Structure 1
Amino acid sequence: MPLDPVAVYKIRDASLDREDVHLSLNDGTIAFTRAVNGRITGALFTGEGEILVVPPDFTERHSLSLFAGTAVLSERITLAYLRFADDSIIADLNPHLRPPEEADGFIERNNALASQLAEADCLRTLIGITYAPKASPKAYAGEFLYGRFNGEKLGGFEVSYDPLVSEQISARQVAFSVRGRHYDLWMSFPMRSLRKDPDSNARSPHKVVEITDYRIRMDVTPPRDLAGSATLTLKTLQTGPRAVLFELSRYLKLAGVELESAGREPVKLD
């Protein structure tokens, strides 16, 4: 997702607060991505900022300290790449935007980086921007916030707020070993509003579908080959979602997908 050359601004004393995630953009330059169907879904910031996430319990504080050497994630940042799907992010930042000093130079230096970072969040962004309008003021409308940061001490790391997963707040870092690239999960826990709700037993308040039953058939060819099919029955739990994300192993080759509605022939989607 490239940056928009007409959406580059100086920014100062701005902040984004989403549940346990607190992001400050103190002084720098920000460029928003090109709009998708009239909606902006990302931004890249360079300058002086800070990210703050306070783990709620000993377990998560201990986990964070093992990776980051601190029990509280409080890091000065010089770069932030943000992905989101609701207009509230733009509304929070708008009062702090000013005309830029060198928009063309900023785009030239950072456009390739922004396009590269956008790839990992494309599917989650699709889910967010295709949500139907809110059926009620309290209904979920697809909002989330993913951030990739460059910290002064911790280097590159990620923080996310995502109401669609069971533990909505998380922080992690890409690491490499002899087996290749992987994620070190620093911490992961339910968001603040969910922890404070004594009547809520669900760890994912915005679960949109439920798999009511499934059937898997496999053909194994020793020593290492297998082929199979999986049949799932999905039950929708709320109105609004128009896309569902399935995460599959990168070692699987997907040959095809069929959607079968009641009384209709399967429709191939491959």
Structure 2
Amino acid sequence: MSLFTGAAVLEEKFGSAYFRFNDDTYSDLQPSLRPAEEAKGFAATWNSVAHNLAEWDALRLFMTFSQYLPITPGDKTETQPPGHPADRFLHARLQGMSQGAFDVYYDSTATEQIAVAQQKAVEGINYYNVWTSFPTRSRLESTASSEEYTDDLAIRSYRIQAEVKPPTTMQTHAELQVDVIRGGSRSVLFELSRFLKVDEVKMDGRSLGLIQNQALEGTQLARRGNDILTVVFPQPLRAGQKFELSFSYSGDVLSEAGGGLLYVGARGTWYPNRGLAAASFDMQFRYPAG
């Protein structure tokens, strides 16, 4: 914190604030709200700002509201509604009097639920500086008292078939054997290099919906060269369920080191990934003769 703000504790007055949430926070705020004196002028002033900031949270909110996607046309899912204690999200963009605009997050699904960060440009390059990030006390206590697997999914094995097409292209088919640890999700996130385009995702041979979303500029994810891939399932996943996910994708991720030697760039994950976890790999590479 002190590296960016000059103080170990954040104590900042702010003149304006933007809030985005997926629960009943509005009910808590409503008693303290008052109507704008010039409602139309207020909306005109802040409409474009709200529209731009909404893109930051769109994918996270989709993860919540995907619970309402129909299982079949005309049906409604019987899953937890938005506002359920297991899924709570709040993003506050505050215009500080001395620190400028910065973001405060609470995300119950994140490894570290509380975060404060600020986007800043240095010599024309955008950075997203994380001032502080930490788990809640209740999460720390629950983690310390159990050996529970922290992810909703466990990827047990990868079978990857990659075809190298010099000078820069790689076409890949990856099969993942997946165990569901915690059920209820309709959508799941993966990281994948931004230079790779996913053509299709299948679950046990059945095509799934997918969203390939660009990472927020300046974040650690973007600086790793990755974007977010969201896989949407036809119905909520069940704890104990096992299935195969297959990804077909291609793109320009190869670089030439000289002398005919090709390598995958250091920035970007070239297979669908959910973070550090043990798994077995069976990889096959095909390349032109000579």
TM range (shorter): 0.5 to 0.7
C-alpha displacement at 1:194, in angstroms?
Answer: 1.7
Q: Which runs of 5+ in 1 are unaligned?
A: 1-63
C-alpha displacement at 1:107, in angstroms?
Answer: 0.3
> Would you say the 8 A contact 1:171–1:187 is kept in 2?
yes
From 192, 199, 219, the equivalent of 2:145 is 199
C-alpha displacement at 1:242, in angstroms?
Answer: 1.4
Which segment is superposed worse, 68-77 or 192-201?
A: 192-201
CA RMSD of aligned residues (A): 2.8
Residue 121 (1) aligns with residue 57 (2): yes
**Distance change in 2, residues 1:203/1:238 (3 Å):** closer
Which segment is superposed worse, 112-121 or 233-242?
A: 233-242
Q: Which runs of 5+ in 2 are unaligned?
A: 68-77, 211-290
SS in 1 for 2:60: helix
The alignment's TM-score, normalised by the length of structure 2, stands at 0.59
Q: For the residues of structure 2 that align with 1:256 and 1:82, how far apart are their CA atoms?
A: 35
Q: For the residues of structure 1 that align with 2:149 and 2:105, how far apart are their CA atoms?
A: 16
SS in 2 for 1:187: strand
From 190, 213, 229, the equivalent of 2:173 is 229
Aligned residue number for residue 100 of structure 1? 36
> Would you say the 8 A contact 2:149–2:181 is kept in 1?
no
Residue 258 (1) aligns with residue 195 (2): no
C-alpha displacement at 1:223, in angstroms?
Answer: 5.2
The alignment's TM-score, normalised by the length of structure 1, stands at 0.63
Q: For the residues of structure 1 that align with 2:124 and 2:167, how far apart are their CA atoms?
A: 21
From 145, 153, 163, the equivalent of 1:209 is 153
Aligned residue number for residue 258 of structure 2? none
**Distance change in 2, residues 1:140/1:235 (3 Å):** farther
Q: For the residues of structure 1 that align with 2:193 and 2:18, how far apart are their CA atoms?
A: 26
Q: For the residues of structure 2 that align with 1:82 and 1:168, how far apart are their CA atoms?
A: 17
**Distance change in 2, residues 1:128/1:151 (3 Å):** same
Letter in 1 for 2:100: G
May I ask how many residue pairs the two structures share in their alignment?
198
Which of structures 1 and 2 has the bigger CA Rg?
2
Q: For the residues of structure 1 that align with 2:34 and 2:124, how far apart are their CA atoms?
A: 46
> Which of 1 and 2 has higher RCO (CA within 8 Å, sep 6+)?
2
Quote the sequence identity (%).
37
